Structure 1
Amino acid sequence: MKEWTMQLFDYHVWTNDRLIQHLKGLPEAVFLNKVNSVFPTVAETFGHMIAVDELWYLRMKGNSLQQIVSKSFSTIEDTVKASTILHNEIKDFLINTENVEDMVGYQNTKGDQFNNKIAEVVQHIVNHGTYHRGNIAAMIRQMGYEGVSTDYIFYLRDK
């Protein structure tokens, strides 16, 4: 189960990196242009994704943080730095976790208490990222540019 959990998280990092590399090849304005979507800009969408990854990471570590701490990025480079630091910390945490079946107790943003396995939390992080990467793909297309494939099968073929 640990190997599977690590692979899922590796996919999450790989696909975020793939999307960021694609964005680097587009005009800089694509990152900050406002469009009609879940979040108004690609930058704000990445800010939300990284903030939520951090929230769940802190919960896995035993921090009872209830609120999402907003992240704001004005450049792709700032996004890469923050994402790399956080995702390396999460990888280290998972590597050093003996049993991903261990339970994590936390309160949601409404103050309700829940318990989930570390592996389930990682699955949630990955699914949440997939949803918002889809948002970003749609945003890029709204601006007239092609997206990039972030499907899991492409990750497997690339590894």
Structure 2
Amino acid sequence: MQTIRTMFAHMDWANRQLLEALQAAPKDEASQATLLFLHVLQAERIWLTRLRGESSEGIRLWVDDTDSLDCAALIEANGSGFQAWLDALPEEELDQPVAYRSQAGAPFETSTRDILIHVALHGQYHRGQINTLLRQSGADPKPVDYILYARLGEG
């Protein structure tokens, strides 16, 4: 359970690092990277909603307007939401199935552990893409590797 908690603490730290990079980049140059970042944050929100046993039906996975959401507010809500949810989760429930519907409405059941691992890996995959987009646009990317997080004593 501690590994999962650490993965989510790293995820929150990495999101905050990327937000700094996106805020420092010229807005027009970072727009594609910001859209992808909003996708990451929306996906985190969707999965947290599902883990709480709520419907994610009204939450858009892809947002076209970078001004329509406040990234900082989403980072805060997702970070504190996952931390509180994980703090209340008994370890023996990690392998229990979670029933939910995809954004297309298809029913699924997936273990809590697999959902949590997916959320952490999905975000890390896209954060690498976001850094590439920042670099290609001439903006400065932010290192978000776990080892850096650990070296900084964050983990």
TM-score by length of 1: 0.80
Aligned residues: 149
2:151 aligns with 157
Hey, what does 2:8 align to over in structure 1? Answer: 9
Counting only pairs closer than 5 Å after superposition, residues 8-157 of structure 1 correspond to structure 2 as: 8-32=7-31, 41-66=32-57, 68-70=59-61, 71=63, 72-74=65-67, 78-99=70-91, 100-157=94-151
Q: 8 Å contact 1:8–1:126 — kept in the other structure?
A: yes
1:35-73, CA deviations, whole angstroms, 9 ceiling, x for partnerless residues? xxxxxx222112211111111111111124356425554
| Alignment root-mean-square deviation, CA | 2.3
Q: Which moved more, 1:45-54 or 1:60-69?
A: 60-69
Contact 1:31 1:75 in 2 (8 A): no
**What is the percentage of aligned positions where both structures have the same residue?**
23
Gapped regions of structure 2 (runs ≥ 5):
none
Give the TM-score normalised by the residue count of structure 2: 0.82
Q: Which has the higher contact order (CA 8 A, sep 6+)?
A: 2
**How far apart are the structure 2 equivalents of 1:154 and 1:125?**
20
Residue segments in structure 1 that go unaligned for 5+ positions in a row: 33-40
1:36 corresponding residue in structure 2:
none
Structure 1 runs of 4+ off > 6 angstroms? none
